[in-house]
Amino acid sequence: MKNILSRVALFAGVMLISSATLWAQSNEISGNVKSDAGDPLVGVNIIVVGTVVGTISDIDGNFSFTTRESFPIQIRISMVGFESQEMEITQDNATGLTFALAEQTIMGQEVIISASRVEESILESPVTVEKMGILAIKNTPSADFYAGIADLKGVQMTTSSMMFKSVNTRGFATMANTRFVQLIDGMDNSAPGLNFPMGNIVGIGDLDVESVELVPGASSALYGPNAFNGILLMQSKSPFDYQGLSVSAKGGITTQDPYSTNNTNYPGYVDVKNEAGGTNGFYDFSARYAKAFNNKFAFKLNFSYIQAEDWNATDYSQHAEEDAGEFNTNVNGVNIYGDAIATTLDFDALAGVPGSGVFGSAKVARTGYKEVDLADYNTKSMKASVGLHYRLTDKMELSYDYKYGKATSIYQGFSRYALANLTLQQHKIELRG
């Protein structure tokens, strides 16, 4: 019994000494970054050279982080549009650092990873790459960052409903682009049952996007056979670099004027003026929270919710070849389903006098269902994610990410499809170094 207690005490003592040693080896580096004009710079990347340890500057240009690297420590300060700097930090000047970054006269030094799956300058890339950085995402005039992708060179965005958008490049314009691969943090977010990207309906929230890279054209050698039309790579923010609480709320109004066929040729579908969408509210809410502990463990939580009234399909115009007038029994309305099945009734044969022409014949269609009775136009999208990140060493990071999306919307291809409570879940464990 004494031996067991002695071993437990010895183990506890070793752990305490190891913890104290590790704590003693933790060095803090802090300072401020400004432009050469004296303005504070937000979003500047400060990193210990050769490691994954670092942070970004806040809105006032201030930064602070800890590392277990021993002095002297080499750090790199970089930001798109400014010349990078490197500095050797000693124990005497580790805090209260001040940096003034000069504007870069030659642009195009952005770092990308989508073209060759390794970090490289955008000018050194062997293919054309369009990129939206954190500032471009923040300043986009579009309703959200995903809609802003339409402003990139070579992109054609097709919209089939309020929430459902499809990115097309190199002339392959389609509502469901199976030739295009869309990755979020390296994960393909195509629905397994549909086999094509669903835009950002169950994707990533605006507050958690760090960068968007688009490679138009064939990328099959790097990303598989489905990428011969292009690749879209969206990268989320690290909880180590982007900490704190962020909240975004947007609102608006959508309007659809009442529509009526006002035509007696379509009995049962005449007065539809009250079935249009009308005037409704548009609501978009997002929140993100991230926290790091001693630059060792960090987590982030994301939530976003969008709700609006989609376009109501209330056009019941006849698109059959013939129009039988007021008592048309062969109705085939545009937004009516099931009425396309029709048959010819020979009333002479039914009366037992075939070929007499006394009663004649008529085409009769099955009574259909209006789309407003089948689809839910109250479109909504909910996205949530959790990220847990742990730095095993200063050069190796282990992370687990869980993403969940649920949406109700309309997808339009050759026909229109109601996506009710569409759900997508993804899990990712990554070891990066």
Instruction: Tokens for 318, please give them.
Output: 């006849």
Amino acid 100: pLDDT: 92
Closest to 306 in 3D by CA, of 286, 287, 284, 288:
284
* Band of pLDDT at residue 270, cut at 50, 70 and 90: very low
8 Å CB contact between 383 and 414: no
3-state secondary structure of 203: coil
DSSP state of 51: S
The number of angstroms, rounded, from the C-alpha of 281 to the middle of its chain's C-alpha atoms is 23
Amino acid 1: pLDDT: 45
Q: Which CATH architecture has domain 111-236?
A: Beta Complex (2.170)
Nearby residues of 10 by Cβ (< 8 Å), 6 or more positions away: none
Instruction: Tokens for 324, please give them.
Output: 């039988």
- Going edge to edge, which strands form the sheet with 378-393? 244-256, 278-293, 297-309, 378-393, 396-412, 416-432
Closest to 206 in 3D by CA, of 284, 275, 153:
284
Most confident segment among 8-12, 147-151, 157-161, 380-384: 380-384
Task: Using the predicted structure, report yes or no on whether residue 324 has a pLDDT greater than 60.
Answer: no
Q: Higher confidence at residue 306 or residue 153?
A: 306
* Band of pLDDT at residue 347, cut at 50, 70 and 90: confident
Indicate the range of 11-25, 35-49, 276-290, 339-353 predicted with least confidence. Answer: 11-25
Calculate the CA dihedral of residues 299, 63, 79, 293 and round it to 10 degrees.
Answer: -20
Q: State the pTM of this model.
A: 0.72
Nearest-angstrom CA–CA distance, 160 and 158 = 7
The number of angstroms, rounded, from the C-alpha of 376 to the middle of its chain's C-alpha atoms is 23
Amino acid 10: pLDDT: 46
Q: State the DSSP string of 262-325.
A: --TTSTTSS--TTSS-EEEEEEEEEEEEEEEETTTEEEEEEEEEEEEEPPP-----B-SS----
Instruction: Tokens for 140, please give them.
Output: 């986009």
**CA distances in angstroms from 60 to 33, 154, 313, listed in the order given:** 8, 36, 50
Q: Residue 122 corresponds to which amino acid?
A: I
Closest to 172 in 3D by CA, of 185, 149, 155, 186:
155
Write out pLDDT tens, residues 165-183: 888 887 777 777 777 888 8
8 Å CB contact between 197 and 190: yes
| 121-129 own/partner pairs: CB under 8 Å, 24+ apart | 127/215, 127/217, 127/219, 128/154, 128/215, 128/216, 128/217, 129/213, 129/214, 129/215
Write out pLDDT tens, residues 215-261: 887 776 677 777 778 888 899 999 988 888 999 999 998 888 765 55
Residue 265: count of CB within 10 angstroms of its CB? 16
Instruction: Please state which of the four CATH numbers 2.60.40.1120, 3.90.1150.10, 3.30.1330.10, 2.40.110.10 is assigned to the domain occupying 10-101.
Output: 2.60.40.1120
Q: Higher confidence at residue 416 or residue 196?
A: 416
| 170-175 own/partner pairs: CB under 8 Å, 24+ apart | 170/216, 170/217, 170/229, 170/230, 172/229, 175/411, 175/412, 175/413
Instruction: Tokens for 11, please give them.
Output: 């183990």
8 Å CB contact between 48 and 54: yes
Q: State the DSSP string of 395-425.
A: TEEEEEEEEEEEEEEEEESSSEEEEEEEEEE
Amino acid 7: pLDDT: 47
DSSP state of 10: H
Q: Residue 291 corresponds to which amino acid?
A: K
Mean pLDDT of the chain: 79
3-state secondary structure of 246: strand
8 Å CB contact between 279 and 308: no
Amino acid 260: pLDDT: 52
Write out pLDDT tens, residues 55-76: 888 888 999 888 888 888 999 9
Residue ranges of the alpha helices (H) in 149-270?
220-223
Amino acid 354: pLDDT: 73
